[in-house]
Amino acid sequence: MRRLLILVIAVLAWSANAQTLTIAISEGIPGFDPTQTTRTVANDVYPNIFDGLLALDREGQIVPSLALSWEVVNEKDWHLTLRQGVKWHDGETFDAEDVKFTLERLATNQDLIRHVLMTELESVEVVNPYEVVLHMANPDPLLPVNLTMPATAMLPAHYFEAVGVDKFTQAPIGTGPYKFTEYRPDDRLVLTVNEDYWAGKAAFSELVFRVITESTTSVSELITGGVAVSDIGPNDLDRVESSGVAHVTTQATNRVVHWTLNVSEGQATADKRVREALDLAIDNQVFIDVLENGYGTPTRVRTGPGDNFMPTKYYGTYNYDPDRARELLAEAGYGPGELTITIMGASSVSDRAELTAAMLEAVGIVPDIQLFESSVWSSKYWTPGEFTNMAGVGSSNSAMDYGSTLSDLQCPEGAHSQRSHWCNEEFSDLVRAANRELDTAKRAELLDAATEILVDELPQIYLYNSVGFIGVSNKLDWSPRPDGSLLMFDARPAN
Amino acid sequence: MFGYVLRRLLQVIPTIVGITLLLFIVVRFSGDPLAIYLGDDDMVVGQVGNDQIAALRARLGLDQPLPLQYIYFLRDALHGDFGRSFIYQNQPALPLVIRRLPATAALGGAALLIGILISLPAGLIAARFRNRFPDTFASFYAVVGEAVPNFWLGIMLILLFAVNLRVLPVSGSGTWRHLVLPAFTLGTGMSALLMRLLRGNLIEVMSLDYIRTARAKGLSARSVLFKHGLRNAAISYITVLGLSVPGLLSGSVVTESIFAWPGMGLLFITAINGRDMAVVQAIVVFTAFLAILGNLIVDLVYVLVDPRITYR
């Protein structure tokens, strides 16, 4: 009898374990109001709890989620039909009032960090409980992609109004495949499967996100079975591959590592010939080989796989011609050793800075590396006039849209344009027009024309599109998504 | 005695005010806290509008003159309000800090216990067998224990006990088994320092005249060592122990990161990196308060150890 009891307990314990999926995340979740954070990790976790009106599939295509269809009625108005029978985690029904509440809150409340996503929204008209019309101030081709982002995920009007924002950020409800159960700050987030999920029940009954900031530790957890999914640094790839219990998967990103150049008058980099010489002096492939274990793609544009309207012509190529660089420097009036270029950045870019410095030296430029603690650097970079020639930056764009990426260099309002002081009116007009153009063919043409100007003018020198590494347990059937989301709805135990 | 304690408690006020002023100046001059919204090396663009930054600045009171900002800060801090975190979605800063205290206290307490359990016998044995094998061994331990950095020791302990032998969990919290490795990592360095201190003091005390007198009047070696030697050698041991308490309670950034221990150290490093001023200020003031309290308690314990010390 006792043996039987032990056996039963053992089986129960095993099955309980088999149903829990544990994932390592590199930082804690600041709170659960998706409109109030720009932290990547939080945005990767939210889709398990909240659904958007639209979603991105594994190919990066926009697909229905809580909205079944979306169409432009006239240039500025979008008609959306909502999915019926969707329940919030507390059992209430999701309907058009929730859409109105969520989107109008984001559009009108400037205090919300992600307010910028809905600045074009004027109002949400509730036609009936399952139909809405979004009235935009301008034609907005970015609206569908914005509606896929975690920050625009649907929030429950009834619950939000009942408990207030402070309570909501600590105990949220959504319509997603998992329900919030518990969050222990900087320790773990525990989610329980949503039995009534509109797309079916997820395979694991419990989802645990463990906060492990140290990557060596999370890799140790991965190879001892403590977690089933973990980020891996390039140094730990072999350790995971040789463990026999987990494997390495690569994750495409749209993060592009680059140098921003200060082109304002008085700087050496104001001269286009100097900028071109810098570009020609730099061998992009070396960065990939030395810094990324050979993973990554050289590029002349700031885009990556999964981005809509990605200009493939300049992706996978780069210019490297040190002789021509020397000639251009001579034309600009600089002999060997006569031009000093400052290379600035956070201390985390030191390897990149040193490689670049060596390449510049090879064409007769005197490099001057200046590195700063990261928070000091971020205020230096964003304070106009604080950096002189080259600033080390790596950027991704969560909108997965090339037009959205370029708006950053639009003058005068684009954030990067304000740092590099590059102001090209033709470029800015093209990007502005593209981001108001609903016709995809025309939009692609406008963006291509803007790209030609960018590639010619070089306010930024793009090095490579980087790849993420994720370790996945051999007991788990799941692969990373191109948008980086850790949505675990489709995760299954491996056979 | 009561007057002394009261006086010491009153001294806390100017100390804390001085600390807050220094802290306020350092935090404000280390750069624009809102720059973090715009990102540094690894940024996701198009998330925050430039005009929005101005609105946020006004909401956080950062558009006010500095002296005024400080006065507001001090006024609110007196009410236990250190402001709201702008990383942790507007949550009040002090409760965020206090919620981390149990985890940090558990780790700090266990490390302290390990520090004492190793250093006390090791120090006694080393002093008793001076210049012989146990002493050489203990001295070697002291040098290695102090020289080895925590992050290296932590990773090695994980590799040995969690990855290879699989007898303890790699990281996390919740059971006593999770506590073992981080507590040893933190306690080892401390035990080395304490051991060396105790050994040195004991050797010095044991060569004094009154010890010779004690021996001459026929007391047993054990009685001389414990009753006369150890009590007198313990003053500096207790001082260092007391001073290390606030350090332990404010959390160890390195050890907590390596073992994913959800304590104050992790919160502190997140707050500093994110320029979360309210949280940084709450942690520093809280730690300073603990340090002052720790010092006071040590001073009071002296009386128990050494009857010659009195407070008026």
Q: Does A111 touch chain B (CB under 8 A)?
A: yes
- Among the residue ranges A152-156, A228-232, B48-52, B276-280, the one predicted with the least confidence is B48-52
pTM of the model: 0.85
Higher-pLDDT residue of A22, B71: A22
Interface of A with B in 277-336 (CB under 8 A): none
Tokens of A96: 């058009």
Q: Does A380 touch chain B (CB under 8 A)?
A: yes
Tell me how far the alpha carbon of residue A234 is from its chain's centroid. 20
Contacts of A216 in chain B (CB under 8 A): 155, 158, 258
- What average pLDDT is seen over chain A? 90
Mean pLDDT of B248-274: 84
The yes-or-no verdict on residue A227 having pLDDT over 60 is yes
Mean pLDDT of A231-259: 90
Q: Give the per-residue pLDDT at A220.
A: 95
Contacts of A471 in chain B (CB under 8 A): none
pLDDT tens figures, B100-117: 888 998 999 999 999 999
A226·B41 Cβ contact <8 A: no
For helices B93-128 and B231-249, give the axis angle rounded to 10 degrees: 150
B270·A110 Cβ contact <8 A: no
Q: Which pLDDT band holds residue A13 (cuts at 50, 70, 90)?
A: very low
Q: Give the per-residue pLDDT at A407.
A: 86
Interface of B with A in 110-129 (CB under 8 A): none
Q: Which pLDDT band holds residue B260 (cuts at 50, 70, 90)?
A: very high
Percent above pLDDT 70 for chain A? 94
Interface of B with A in 282-301 (CB under 8 A): none
Q: Give the per-residue pLDDT at A12.
A: 43
Contacts of A348 in chain B (CB under 8 A): 41
Higher-pLDDT residue of B80, A297: A297
Q: Give the per-residue pLDDT at B251.
A: 66
Q: Whose structure tokens read 């108001």? A: A436
Higher-pLDDT residue of B60, B181: B181
Interface of B with A in 40-59 (CB under 8 A): 40-50, 52, 55-56, 59
B166·A377 Cβ contact <8 A: no
The yes-or-no verdict on residue B47 having pLDDT over 60 is no
The yes-or-no verdict on residue B82 having pLDDT over 90 is no
Q: Give the per-residue pLDDT at B24.
A: 83
Q: Give the per-residue pLDDT at B33.
A: 67
A431 half-sphere exposure, CB direction, 13 A CA radius: 26
Min Cα separation B269/chain A (Å):
11
Q: Give the per-residue pLDDT at A10.
A: 45
Q: Give the per-residue pLDDT at B40.
A: 42
pLDDT tens figures, A363-383: 999 999 999 877 677 777 766
Higher-pLDDT residue of B221, B163: B163
Min Cα separation B143/chain A (Å):
27
The closest of A383, A368, A369 to A418, measured between CA atoms, is A383
Helix/strand/coil for B152: helix
Q: Does B161 touch chain A (CB under 8 A)?
A: no
Q: How far apart are CA A471 and CA B62, in angstroms?
A: 42
The yes-or-no verdict on residue B43 having pLDDT over 50 is no
Strand-strand pairing, A390-396 and A339-346: parallel
pLDDT tens figures, A444-483: 999 999 999 999 999 999 999 988 899 999 999 999 887 7
Q: Which pLDDT band holds residue B87 (cuts at 50, 70, 90)?
A: confident
Q: Does B175 touch chain A (CB under 8 A)?
A: no
Reading phi first (left if > 0) and then psi (alpha if -120 to 50, else beta), residue A47 is in alpha
Mean pLDDT of B258-263: 92
Contacts of B94 in chain A (CB under 8 A): none
- What average pLDDT is seen over chain B? 83
Q: Give the per-residue pLDDT at A3.
A: 53
Angle (nearest 5°) at CA A221 between A217 and A227: 130
Q: Which pLDDT band holds residue B248 (cuts at 50, 70, 90)?
A: confident
Min Cα separation B291/chain A (Å):
25
The yes-or-no verdict on residue B45 having pLDDT over 60 is no
Higher-pLDDT residue of B228, A1: B228
Q: Give the per-residue pLDDT at B51.
A: 65
SS (H, E, C) B94-139: HHHHHHHHHHHHHHHHHHHHHHHHHHHHHHHHHHHCCCCHHHHHHH
Q: Give the per-residue pLDDT at A11.
A: 43
- The partner residue sitting opposite B171, judged by closest CB among A165, A221, A418, is A221
pLDDT tens figures, A104-159: 999 999 888 888 889 899 999 999 999 999 999 999 998 998 999 999 999 999 99
Q: Give the per-residue pLDDT at A444.
A: 95
Tokens of A24: 């390592």
State phi, psi for A80 to the nearest 5 degrees.
-120, 135
Q: Give the per-residue pLDDT at B49.
A: 57
Cis peptide upstream of residue B95 (ω within 30 degrees of 0): no
The yes-or-no verdict on residue B1 having pLDDT over 80 is no
